[in-house]
């Protein structure tokens, strides 16, 4: 069983939105015999769509994870999201990949998005090969793109092939290892190619680049390098070993070229995936963590003999029902097994398991470590949940989903669309744990919340394009919070007499500011039974119920502490309800006296800018009330790290692109809440009250 794993390759295809990722995936499926027609968009059930749109459409089910076979090796190709500005999806995809293919456009070169992708892949230590696509395009230049990879990404490309011809004349590649030319000139059968001697005018160039290739590869083996310097030519097998070793350690990245659209060069990429990218056993095993997210020192060793550990990395709905895509890290999963979801603490039975193949699927009875499969009909599983053996539970990684910091109101354009919208939003929440939805009780509006402006833009786009729900979108709203700044010692008595038994509850309490990030803390120091112990939790519940509504503008209240130290009760009239109502009234009475303060979300902002625009970018961030934390000069520009209030970051991407002639890019994530300056707070409170008044009309 275990020997099988050496022939597995779990790979992802990374690319800038218009570099041809979809087309490359499509060609891989065609070459491996998974599909026979390419790119036919009939009934919306084509494998993937090769139309080069500004933005990729909602990806079809097949591109999420598909399996195919090449040269006796099983390839699990996983789609990595096109938009990586902030979403947790990319990290999730990178978690389940062992290697990747970075696709770059032959004319566009290394675009900002490619840079972000590359950075994420570096952080996750994923080995990659490079494919320079679209060499048949006007303005394509293989050598320029290779130079960009060096300069912009700070990576070391290992040129494996040289293009024969360029733009309209591009017809094949020279394989530097074998010194043979691969020519694709059969218009009838684009997958057919012939192997011949390289063109005479390229021989000198071939030798020059081959020497460079051999020297770089042999840096991995001192003995072979010594022999080579003594004039002994290494064998192809020895070279392969060295290239594989250097690829796995990310010392260099084997670089290929072609045109996926014209079916040229993709075979060489597939050969390289098999030859140089790691199998599941050659990657560092995933660390296991406890409930708190602290590493236990155990690892999910990739072997069928270990207890089951699997990660759900994508949830999708297709015409067959809900599918949960799972990467199995260790152990075996059989149909009918019960698995524990460590996030919910519930066990679920695995009814049906399938392997996805383009627009088809194969039923499975069992799967093992290294496999990527889909499970049909799981109920409570979301992206990022760990499924494991109930007898030996463990979680694969800390599940930290930051709270959303921005919200917008949406409503369906036609009256009958609300049910359709509700179903679509339900599916989208499952797919992306950083996306939340709630209905505002007062106004009846549907509020969607996410991690940033672009995040919500994409969600609205998916809602409209993929689910066909036309919606009206409101202005983005920032998720403010409230807190207090002063200590208050106060008392409240709840008394109600209405024939028969009444209600009585008296509480003496202290409300004071808590530590940042502490939320709500309740303690009781009552002695002598002035408030019986059974009523303490009712007091706590009363305060908890109220903390969702602050006294300034109705935002949730954070980081305060309540100490119940005394009070009074009546033997007949006191009840848990009376003390809960006393606490609720006490909150309203005291919070406004305790120096309430509006808090705003502060974002950690990471901006990349070319050298010549640094001054403009920093000046702009300062105007947005930003604090610059660091500046790191890189190969092609400067990365600026800072902290900026979210309310000042709306529309930032447009401003940045304008300032940097389209080359700047940024990512941001929530950092913490911080007190709002008075002038800003006054404005926010005024706007919020106005909005509420308008909603009531």
- Give, in degrees to the nearest 5, the angle at Cα 114 between 112 and 118: 120
Query: Given this model, what pLDDT does residue 319 score?
Result: 60
Q: Smallest Cα–Cα separation from 402: which of 357, 374, 436?
A: 436
Reduced to 3 states, what is the DSSP secondary structure of residue 479? Answer: coil
When mean pLDDT is compared over 236-240, 287-291, 531-535, the highest value belongs to 236-240
Taking the C-alpha atoms of residue 59 and residue 13, their distance in angstroms, rounded to an integer, is 14
Give the residue-averaged pLDDT of 46-72: 50
The contacts of residue 615 (CB under 8 Å, 6+ apart) are none
Structure tokens at 676: 């709002």
Q: How confident is the model at residue 158 (pLDDT cuts 50, 70, 90)?
A: very high
On the question of pLDDT at 336 being above 90, the answer is no
Q: How confident is the model at residue 11 (pLDDT cuts 50, 70, 90)?
A: confident
When mean pLDDT is compared over 229-233, 283-287, 443-447, 475-479, the highest value belongs to 229-233
Taking the C-alpha atoms of residue 509 and residue 590, their distance in angstroms, rounded to an integer, is 10
Query: Given this model, what pLDDT does residue 17 score?
Result: 58
Q: Are 573 and 500 in contact (CB under 8 A)?
A: no
- Which tens digits make up the pLDDT trace of 342-366? 888 888 888 888 887 655 677 888 8
Q: How confident is the model at residue 551 (pLDDT cuts 50, 70, 90)?
A: confident
Give the residue-averaged pLDDT of 272-290: 82
- Which tens digits make up the pLDDT trace of 589-607? 888 888 888 999 888 888 8
Reduced to 3 states, what is the DSSP secondary structure of residue 217? Answer: helix
Give the residue-averaged pLDDT of 425-436: 79
Which ranges of 162-298 does DSSP label H, i.e. alpha helix? 203-218, 222-229, 236-248, 266-276
Taking the C-alpha atoms of residue 469 and residue 471, their distance in angstroms, rounded to an integer, is 6
Number of helices and strands (H, E) in the chain?
15, 37
Taking the C-alpha atoms of residue 121 and residue 383, their distance in angstroms, rounded to an integer, is 19
Percent helix, percent strand, percent coil in the chain, to nearest 5: 30, 35, 35
Give the residue-averaged pLDDT of 83-106: 71
Beta strands in 280-431 (DSSP E): 286-289, 295-300, 309-318, 321-330, 332-334, 338-341, 346-349, 352-357, 360-364, 366-368, 372-376, 386-388, 406-412
On the question of pLDDT at 52 being above 50, the answer is no
Taking the C-alpha atoms of residue 540 and residue 331, their distance in angstroms, rounded to an integer, is 45
On the question of pLDDT at 643 being above 90, the answer is yes
Reduced to 3 states, what is the DSSP secondary structure of residue 669? Answer: strand
Cβ atoms < 10 Å from Cβ of 521: 14
On the question of pLDDT at 471 being above 80, the answer is yes
Q: How confident is the model at residue 631 (pLDDT cuts 50, 70, 90)?
A: confident
Q: Smallest Cα–Cα separation from 522: which of 499, 546, 540, 535?
A: 540
On the question of pLDDT at 89 being above 50, the answer is yes
Q: How confident is the model at residue 646 (pLDDT cuts 50, 70, 90)?
A: confident
Strand partners, 472: 411
Strand partners, 69: 74
Q: Smallest Cα–Cα separation from 459: which of 442, 446, 441?
A: 446
Reduced to 3 states, what is the DSSP secondary structure of residue 393? Answer: coil
Taking the C-alpha atoms of residue 297 and residue 295, their distance in angstroms, rounded to an integer, is 6
On the question of pLDDT at 498 being above 70, the answer is no
- Which tens digits make up the pLDDT trace of 320-330? 667 888 888 88
Give the residue-averaged pLDDT of 196-207: 89
Which ranges of 249-309 does DSSP label H, i.e. alpha helix? 266-276
Q: Which residue has the tokens 């119920």?
A: 545
Q: Which of 277-281, 401-405, 540-544, 615-619 has the lowest mean pLDDT?
A: 401-405
On the question of pLDDT at 624 being above 90, the answer is yes
Query: Given this model, what pLDDT does residue 509 score?
Result: 92
Q: Which of 10-24, 55-69, 70-84, 310-324 has the lowest mean pLDDT?
A: 55-69
Longest dimension (CA), the chain: 109
Q: What percent of the chain has pLDDT over 90?
A: 9
Query: Given this model, what pLDDT does residue 695 score?
Result: 67
Q: Smallest Cα–Cα separation from 646: which of 483, 410, 476?
A: 476
On the question of pLDDT at 550 being above 90, the answer is no
Q: What percent of the chain has pLDDT over 70?
A: 86
Taking the C-alpha atoms of residue 239 and residue 259, their distance in angstroms, rounded to an integer, is 26
Specify the higher pLDDT residue, 208 or 405.
Answer: 208
Q: Smallest Cα–Cα separation from 142: which of 127, 164, 113, 121?
A: 164
Taking the C-alpha atoms of residue 274 and residue 600, their distance in angstroms, rounded to an integer, is 50
Query: Given this model, what pLDDT does residue 160 score?
Result: 92
Query: Given this model, what pLDDT does residue 459 score?
Result: 83
On the question of pLDDT at 3 being above 50, the answer is no
Residue 225 burial (C-beta neighbours within 10 Å; 0-12, 13-18, 19+): middle
Q: Kindly report the backbone phi and psi dihedral angles of residue 603, in degrees, each rounded to the nearest multiple of 5, phi listed first.
A: -105, 145
Query: Given this model, what pLDDT does residue 318 score?
Result: 63
Reduced to 3 states, what is the DSSP secondary structure of residue 654? Answer: helix
The contacts of residue 583 (CB under 8 Å, 6+ apart) are 507, 538, 539, 540, 541, 542, 543, 546
Q: Smallest Cα–Cα separation from 527: which of 491, 492, 493, 566?
A: 566
Q: Kindly report the backbone phi and psi dihedral angles of residue 584, in degrees, each rounded to the nearest multiple of 5, phi listed first.
A: -65, -40
Q: Smallest Cα–Cα separation from 606: which of 84, 110, 146?
A: 84
What does pLDDT average to over the chain? 80
On the question of pLDDT at 83 being above 60, the answer is no
- Which tens digits make up the pLDDT trace of 218-273? 998 889 988 888 888 888 899 989 999 999 998 999 999 988 778 788 889 888 99
> What's the N-to-C CA distance of the chain in angstroms?
69
Q: Are 118 and 23 in contact (CB under 8 A)?
A: no
On the question of pLDDT at 6 being above 90, the answer is no
Structure tokens at 465: 């394009």
């Amino acid at each position: 069983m275990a020997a099988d794993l050496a022939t597995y390759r779990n790979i992802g295809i990374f690319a800038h939105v218009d570099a041809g990722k979809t087309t490359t995936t499509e060609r891989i499926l065609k070459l491996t015999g998974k599909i026979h027609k390419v790119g036919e968009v009939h009934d919306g059930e084509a494998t993937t769509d090769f139309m080069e749109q500004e933005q990729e459409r909602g990806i079809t089910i097949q591109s999420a994870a598909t399996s195919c076979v090449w040269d006796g090796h099983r390839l699990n190709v996983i789609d990595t999201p096109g938009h990586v500005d902030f979403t947790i999806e990319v990290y999730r995809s990178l978690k389940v990949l062992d290697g990747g293919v970075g696709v770059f456009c032959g004319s566009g070169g290394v675009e900002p998005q490619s840079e972000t992708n590359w950075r994420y892949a570096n952080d996750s230590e994923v080995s990659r090969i490079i494919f320079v696509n679209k060499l048949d395009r006007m303005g394509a230049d293989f050598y320029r793109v290779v130079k960009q990879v060096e300069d912009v990404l700070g990576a070391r490309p290992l040129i494996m092939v040289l293009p024969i011809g360029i733009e309209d004349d591009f017809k094949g590649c020279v394989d530097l290892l074998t010194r043979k030319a691969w020519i694709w000139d059969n218009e009838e059968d684009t997958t057919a190619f012939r192997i011949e001697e390289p063109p005479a005018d390229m021989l000198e160039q071939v030798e020059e680049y081959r020497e460079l290739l051999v020297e770089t590869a042999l840096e991995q083996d001192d003995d072979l390098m010594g022999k080579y310097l003594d004039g002994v030519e290494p064998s192809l097998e020895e070279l392969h070993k060295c290239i594989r070793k250097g690829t796995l350690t990310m010392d260099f990245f084997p670089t290929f070229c072609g045109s996926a659209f014209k079916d040229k060069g993709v075979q060489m990429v597939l050969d390289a995936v098999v030859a140089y990218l790691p199998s599941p056993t050659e990657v560092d095993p995933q660390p296991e963590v406890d409930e708190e997210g602290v590493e236990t020192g155990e690892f999910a060793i990739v072997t069928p003999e270990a207890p089951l550990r699997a990660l759900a990395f994508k949830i999708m709905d297709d015409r067959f029902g809900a599918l949960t895509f799972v990467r199995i890290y260790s152990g075996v999963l059989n149909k009918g097994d019960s698995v524990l979801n460590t996030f919910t603490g519930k066990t679920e039975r695995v009814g049906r398991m399938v392997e996805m193949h383009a627009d088809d699927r194969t039923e499975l009875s069992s799967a093992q470590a290294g496999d990527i499969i889909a499970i049909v009909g799981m109920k409570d599983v979301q992206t990022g949940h760990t499924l494991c053996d109930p007898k030996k539970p463990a979680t694969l990684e800390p599940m930290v989903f930051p709270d959303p910091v921005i919200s917008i109101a949406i409503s369906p354009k036609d009256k009958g669309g609300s049910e359709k919208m509700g179903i679509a939003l339900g599916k989208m929440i499952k797919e992306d744990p950083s996306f939340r939805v709630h209905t505002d009780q007062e106004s009846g509006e549907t509020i969607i919340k996410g991690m940033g402006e672009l995040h919500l833009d994409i969600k609205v786009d998916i809602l409209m394009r993929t689910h066909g729900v036309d919606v009206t979108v409101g202005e983005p709203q920032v998720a403010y919070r409230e807190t207090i700044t002063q200590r208050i010692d106060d008392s409240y008595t709840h008394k109600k007499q209405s024939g028969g038994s009444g209600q009585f509850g008296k509480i003496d309490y202290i409300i004071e500011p808590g530590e940042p990030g502490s939320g709500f803390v309740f303690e009781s120091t009552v002695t002598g039974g002035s408030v019986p112990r059974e009523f303490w939790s009712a007091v706590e519940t009363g305060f908890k119920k109220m903390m969702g509504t602050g006294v300034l503008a109705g935002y949730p209240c954070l980081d305060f502490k309540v100490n119940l130290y005394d009070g009074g009760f009546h033997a007949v009239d006191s009840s848990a309800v009376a003390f809960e109502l006393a606490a609720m009234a006490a909150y309203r009475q005291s919070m406004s006296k305790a120096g309430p303060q509006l808090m705003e979300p502060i974002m950690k902002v990471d901006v990349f800018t070319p050298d010549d625009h640094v001054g403009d970018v920093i000046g702009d961030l300062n105007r947005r009330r930003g604090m610059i934390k660091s500046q790191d000069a890189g190969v092609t520009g400067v990365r600026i790290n800072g902290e900026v209030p979210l309310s000042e970051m709306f529309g930032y991407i447009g401003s940045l692109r304008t300032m940097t002639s389209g080359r700047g890019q940024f990512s941001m994530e929530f950092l913490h809440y911080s007190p709002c300056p008075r002038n800003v707070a006054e404005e926010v409170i005024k706007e919020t009250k106005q909005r509420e008044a308008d909603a009531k009309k």
